[in-house]
A and B are shown apart, each in its own frame.
Chain A
Amino acid sequence: MRPFTYERAADPQAAVKAAAEIPGARFIAGGTNLLDLMKLEIERPAHLIDVGRLPLAAIEDTPDGGLRIGAMATNSRVAADPRVRGRYPVLAQAIVSGASGQLRNKASTGGNLLQRTRCPYFYDTRKPCNKRQPGAGCAALEGINREHAILGASDACIAVHPSDMAVAMVALDAEVLTLSPSGDERRLPLSELHRLPGETPHIETQLAPGELITTVILPPPAAGAQTYRKVRDRASYATALSSIAVAGGRIAFGGLAPKPWRAATAEAALAAGAAPQEAMAAELEQARSAGHNTFKITLTARLGATVIAETQASAR
């Protein structure tokens, strides 16, 4: 690990101010992803601002029947919250299908959203990667890419976003609140937080330097049943090959794209009366294989059709 300096932020304002003023500064909350990458020298922050103990861990009802989840609330706490389990079961299911008990006890809500891809070529510093080194090329394009994206990828990057939690939150129409070094707060849909790679896969989100996620807001749950289902190589503690979150008429996929993938085409087809199978076919018209991941297209078509049909049936 490269040397760095460390401070514990006194309050959110001090944290974002330090992040803007100190070159090479990064926030650290749970640290489960950042420290892993720092040991490999993929992440090389000069300064860490510990935001883990900021008073941003509360989970609170909103007046309209939604829920505010503080960015420092751990994944375990969010999954165990009775309001999440009762009103947003898709979110509890998604969280407990990800990582391990130890990691969920440490990982924060904000950090989960901002975790980096598990692409093995991103992790292998001997291989070219446009995320690690813009312009270096992408070893995954010609490599073993069965875990890689079929939606939203580019010629520069085919890595997938690894989160389960974020997939459920996108299906729940979550919004993200942030604090900027200027002191400004902004609110944006979670579906717009992550960028598609295009020519700049190293720029992964819409956040400005020093901007801190403080809260995730869930609107009141939409009418209808909710389901999260994940397909992976092992029964537990593995990232998704394909996963789906359904919340009423809203659908999102994980393991398929550089960001949690809101299936707007499938949703529109279902709303227009299409059968689940037809809706999935419409969504996957834009899917592209990278070589070894053609199976994901078939897998997702079947997974999506099955889970959408089951969720519709259980809501009746």
Chain B
Amino acid sequence: METTITVNGEPRTLDLDPRTTLLDALREHLRLTGSKKGCDHGQCGACTVLVNGLRINACLSLAVMHDGDEVVTIEGLGRPEKLHPMQQAFLTEDAFQCGYCTPGQICSAMGMLAELEAGAPSHAAGDVAARPALSEAEIRERMSGNICRCSAYPQIVDAIMRYAREESVAS
């Protein structure tokens, strides 16, 4: 099936078996291997990408469902010679060991902060009607869909807090 997806700003047309997940389309067909396949069942978050600005699990979505959509992967956020400030914050805070979950953590963090800035509620707040404020508790709750088996969670929280502070996001 012919499917056109704008990936990191560039329209890409692919002829795909309908079974191809968005994750496999990115990794196997477009050779964008930054997004990782961890569990392939939406439990670990390593495949998190931004679709039309929203973070989703790329493994639990068919590529053909995304015809016309705009996808941003870790490769679209930063490059080795020009890191995204969130990538730099993860380095500064030592927010990973093996690094396998990191692209998903970073894409998820970007989507998460946009949700927080838009005022979306979370389970961390007592009052769902109130506007949420950035806090470590909010980050932990909102990032619970991203597993880190090296258990760098405290540093991941620190990295996201650093980025938000330095970039004046969700403040």
B162 at the interface (CB under 8 A from A): no
A28 at the interface (CB under 8 A from B): yes
A4 at the interface (CB under 8 A from B): yes
CB–CB A102/B122 < 8 A: no
B56 at the interface (CB under 8 A from A): yes
In this complex, which of B119, B141, B146 has the most chain A Cβ atoms within 10 angstroms of its Cβ? Answer: B141
A23 at the interface (CB under 8 A from B): no
B103 at the interface (CB under 8 A from A): no
Candidates A3, A86, A103; contact of B145 at CB < 8 Å = A103
CB–CB B141/A93 < 8 A: no
Interface string of A38-66 (1 = CB under 8 A from B): 01000000001010100000000000000
Candidates B19, B120, B129; contact of A4 at CB < 8 Å = B19
Residues of B within 8 A of A125 (CB): none
Please classify how large the interface on chain A is, using the bins under 10, 10 to 19, 20 to 34, 35 or more. Answer: 35 or more
CB–CB B65/A36 < 8 A: no
Q: How many A-B residue pairs have CB under 8 A?
A: 106
Residues of A72-101 contacting chain B, CB below 8 A: 76, 79-80, 82, 85-86, 89, 92-93, 96-97, 99-101
Please classify how large the interface on chain B is, using the bins under 10, 10 to 19, 20 to 34, 35 or more. Answer: 35 or more
Stretch in contact with the other chain, from B74-82, B94-102, B108-116: B108-116
C-alpha gap A105/B67 in the complex (Å): 18
C-alpha gap A235/B122 in the complex (Å): 13
Candidates B61, B62, B108, B115; contact of A6 at CB < 8 Å = B62
CB–CB A105/B56 < 8 A: yes
Residues of A within 8 A of B127 (CB): 89
Stretch in contact with the other chain, from B6-14, B25-33, B39-47, B84-92: B39-47
Chain B: CB-nearest residue to A236:
B144
In this complex, which of B48, B57, B119, B146 has the most chain A Cβ atoms within 10 angstroms of its Cβ? Answer: B57
Residues of A1-40 contacting chain B, CB below 8 A: 1, 3-6, 8, 28, 31-32, 35-36, 39
C-alpha gap A31/B54 in the complex (Å): 16
In this complex, which of A8, A28, A52, A76 has the most chain B Cβ atoms within 10 angstroms of its Cβ? Answer: A76
C-alpha gap A101/B19 in the complex (Å): 24
Binding site for B on A (CB under 8 A): 1, 3-6, 8, 28, 31-32, 35-36, 39, 48, 50, 52, 76, 79-80, 82, 85-86, 89, 92-93, 96-97, 99-103, 105-106, 235-237
Known: A48-B62, A79-B128, A93-B123. 18 other contacts (CB 8 A): A3-B17, A31-B65, A32-B42, A39-B41, A52-B65, A76-B115, A79-B121, A80-B120, A89-B127, A100-B45, A101-B112, A101-B144, A102-B55, A102-B56, A102-B108, A103-B57, A105-B54, A105-B111
